Each structure stands twice: as structure tokens, then as C-alpha cells.
Amino acid sequence: MPYALTVDPLRLALAAGTGLSWAGLCWAGLILPRWRPRRHGAPAVASRTLVAYASQSGLAAELAQQLARAKGTTAQPLDSIDPAALAGVGQAWFLVATTGDGNAPDTARRFAGAIAAARPGLQGLRYGLLALGDRHYPAFCGFGRAVDDWLQECGAAPIFPRIEVDRGAPADLARWAAATDLRTDPEPEGLWRLIERETLSPATETAPVCRLLLAPLGPAPRWRPGAIADVTLTAPDGSPQRRSYSVASLAETGTVELLLRHRRDAAGNAGLASGWLSTGLALNGQLRMTLRDNPGVAPLPAEVPKLLLATGTGLAGVLAHLRAHLAVPGHAPVWLIHGERHAALPLLTELTASPRPGLRIDLPLSRGTPPRRLPDWLPLQAEALRRFVAAGAAVLACGGQGPGAAALAALEECLGPGSLAQLRTAGRLRTDFY
């Protein structure tokens, strides 16, 4: 029988043991057919000109590839580079994102650890550095600044002062294009029309979750599960701004589905983007939006079991993966855990309307009856989680940085010390936190 939708953690024991008879393999060393763990080799840099990136949501990678094409080279992820090999490079361009409060992206953790201990002589290196971050966090561009400081401590000379980008602000990116003499024309922004909008949260929710459905005015672009939608809008001072959201829908639908929370500050003022998108933009109104793939959460084959962990509107980050997974006949089991506030979102109720073998959905509610915070709920399922991951499941976690980090800490408590590091090294842990 398929797993049943439940918001009552005391009713989960029956679902925990169902469908896991295939769990006889050792989780730490499992390698499934057609899916291999990511290798963290650190080859010497062959070119005298280097373009390197550390990307979390895909923007740094996209910008690096654009720059590499202009420079006649190939962009490389930071984790593929031995810091000592930079001594053989004449000119380098670093595009470095920061995740959370000053942390290195998942794809640059090895490099971050290496530069903490290494101080090679880089006196012959000249470089430019673009740091991407979010000023909502105290350690704005923290990892980019750390890489910049390390390069100068090793003797490398900056071609120009570090350029910092706040949440993909177009003005900041224009300064980078000018500094790097990047004359390639940017991709045109697509026009989209708002065709549907609904509030998913109860009327009592002070920060409700809204669902938006957008249709392109021109040909529909293609995207992969995990893609990011970059929405362009104008601030009250007239400056262009950009806000990024996970795409919950599949490209086959031809429409983009977004989930966002209508936020207000302490004075009761609505957020610039969330206020406009949830109430200000009229139905059938138009907006400018571009889509880009997110390499950090690239889709995994349907034969790989998946543990999808989402908090709040981070649900959008896992929904497309779930929908793509369920669309493949004979897919491996998948377990979705979504932590929300007062009530389960209707989207998940719809997913369980028809029998779906191998699907389990659990919905702990932090303000439900009884209240169950996700970090408190996960340890109650420790045995079921250990068995599921032991069967080779990959873990995808999406949501806000704080709630997401707390959920991962609780998951590691369930799986054992060092388990998440092993999963990450094997390419079986991917995160998309904002």
C-alpha cells in the first residue's frame, strides 16, 4: 500500500517500515548503477588564465561560464583546484558565492578547508574577484572576502578592488562586467504573465504562503528540476533589483510555479518583492523573469531513493524533483518531509489524492496540535531515517538558512556523527538554502 499523508508523528511507525525491504546494503559505501559519487581531485591548473567559481544557487557558475567564453578558456569549480597550483597561473578570475552567514558553498568546502591551512607563494598571480552574497546576513560575502584576503596574504595582486554583489543586484553585476571588459550582450529577459495566484496558508497566518503560476509571453524556455527564477523589479528609489525563487513546476507544463511567503518588517511594511508579487502585481499583469539551472541540486536518476527535506517555502525547491521522480515508472522510493507552521499546504494533499506506491509524505507543524518543530520531530524517526539512508538514499534539503541548518543538525543526530560529511563527499547530500 502507498504511504499515507499524515501530520501526526505518532502515526508514523507503520509507514516507517513499509517499502524498505531493499535496504540490505551498507549506506556508507553504496554506489548505485549509473550514479557515481563526486570525486574531489585537485589537478594542477593547466592554463595561464583561470576562471574559477564557487556557486550555491548557480549564479556564480553561470557568470563564470560567460566570462570564460569571453576569455577563451573553461570555467572550473574551486573544488577542482589545488591552491598550490595557482602559483603557475598568470591571471585568474574568481567568482565566489557565500551561503548562509559567511559559509562556503557546498561545492567549495574542500577548497575552503585547503586554504585555511595552505599559504603558497602566489606573487606572480594577478586576479579579479567577484563576491556574491546577501546583506540580510551579518557576514555578507563572507567566503568571497575570505578568499580575497587569502590571495593577498599569499602575495597575489588584485587587478581591481573586490566587487561585491547583493542578491544579484544588476548594478553590482554591471560593475563586474565593466571591470572585466565583458562586452558580450546579456541574455534578454523574458516577459511573463501572472495567470494564477492563491494563498495556501490559513487566514490566520500572519506571513502567508502564496502560490504563483506564470506563463511566458513568448516561447517557453526549458529548465531542469531545481531551477531558479530570477525576477526583475524596481525599488522605490528607481534602482533595478533582482529576487530569486525556486521553480516548483516541471518544464513540460510550460508554466512556472513559484511559492513565496508574504513577509513584513517590524513596522508592518511588506517586503519589496514578496509584497509586489503576492498582492501588488495584478492578475494577467506582466513581469520580467529569467530562468537558470541550479547545478548544486542537479536531478538524480529515478532509481536513486530520495529523502527530500524542506522547510517553509523551501518546498518549491524539492517539488519539481519529486514530480519528476514520480513521473518515471518503477521509480525508487521517495520520502518527503516538509516542516510548515499551522497547516499542511494543499499542494501536498493533492499529491496524495491517488495511490502512489513508494511515496511517503510527513508534515510536522511547528504551531500545530501538538506543535512539532522539524528538528524535534526528526529524532522521533531516527530508526526509519537510518534505514532509509542505509538503502542508498540521496538527501536534498531546501529552505531558509536557519531552519535548514537546524534540520540538518537533527538529521545528523539521527544518522550518527560524521554521516552528513560522508554523504556530501559521496554526492548524496545536496542543499539549497536561502
Q: Which three cell numbers stand for residue 269?
A: 511594511
Distance CA 422, CA 409 (A): 14
To which CATH superfamily is domain 49-179 assigned? Answer: Flavodoxin domain (3.40.50.360)
Residue 398's CB: how many other CB atoms inside 10 A? 27
Confidence (pLDDT) at 352:
67
Do residues 384 and 16 lie in contact, with contact meaning Cβ atoms separated by under 8 Å?
Answer: yes
Confidence (pLDDT) at 361:
92
| Beta strands in 217-350, from DSSP E residues, in sequence order | 228-234, 240-246, 256-261, 286-292, 306-311, 334-339
Q: Which residue from 375, 425, 382 is spatially nearest to 404, judged by alpha carbons? A: 375
Distance CA 130, CA 32 (A): 37
Distance CA 140, CA 102 (A): 6
Tell me: the pLDDT tens digits for 41-81?
Answer: 444 444 578 999 998 878 898 899 889 988 889 999 999 99
CATH topology for the 190-292 domain: Elongation Factor Tu (Ef-tu); domain 3 (2.40.30)
Largest CA distance in the chain: 65
Average pLDDT, the chain: 84
What one-character-per-residue DSSP string does 168-208 give? T-HHHHHHHHHHTT--SPPPPPEEEEEEEEEE-S-TT-SS-
Q: Is the pLDDT of residue 122 over 90?
A: yes
| Beta strands in 294-424, from DSSP E residues, in sequence order | 306-311, 334-339, 359-362, 394-399
The answer to whether the peptide bond before residue 370 is cis (omega within 30 degrees of 0) is yes
Confidence (pLDDT) at 21:
33
Tell me: the pLDDT tens digits for 272-325?
Answer: 888 899 988 999 999 999 999 888 888 888 999 999 999 999 999 999 999 999
Instruction: Please list the residue range(s) of the chain that carry CATH number 2.40.30.10.
Output: 190-292
Half-sphere exposure of 169 (CA within 13 A, CB side): 16
Instruction: Please list the residue range(s) of the chain that carry CATH number 3.40.50.80.
Output: 9-35+300-433
What number is the average pLDDT over the span 244-259?
A: 95
Residues β-bridged to residue 212:
197, 258
Q: What is the dihedral of CA 301, 305, 322, 296, to 10 degrees?
A: -60
Better-predicted residue by pLDDT, 100 or 215: 215
Distance CA 413, CA 410 (A): 5
Q: Is the pLDDT of residue 423 over 60?
A: yes
CATH of 9-35+300-433, one of 3.30.300.180, 3.40.50.410, 3.30.160.270, 3.40.50.80: 3.40.50.80
Half-sphere exposure of 133 (CA within 13 A, CB side): 23
Instruction: Please list the residue range(s) of the chain that carry CATH number 3.40.50.360.
Output: 49-179
Helix axes 401-415, 382-390, angle to 10 degrees: 80
Residue 227 confidence class, pLDDT cut points 50, 70, 90: very high
Do residues 23 and 390 lie in contact, with contact meaning Cβ atoms separated by under 8 Å?
Answer: yes
Q: Is 216 exposed, middle or buried (0-12, 13-18, 19+ CB in 10 A)?
A: middle
In 59-83, which positions are buried (b, 16+ CB within 10 angstroms) versus exposed (e)? bbbbbbebbbeebebebbbbbbbbb
Residue 183 confidence class, pLDDT cut points 50, 70, 90: low
Tell me: the pLDDT tens digits for 9-20?
Answer: 333 333 333 333
Q: Which three cell numbers stand for residue 348?
A: 501536498
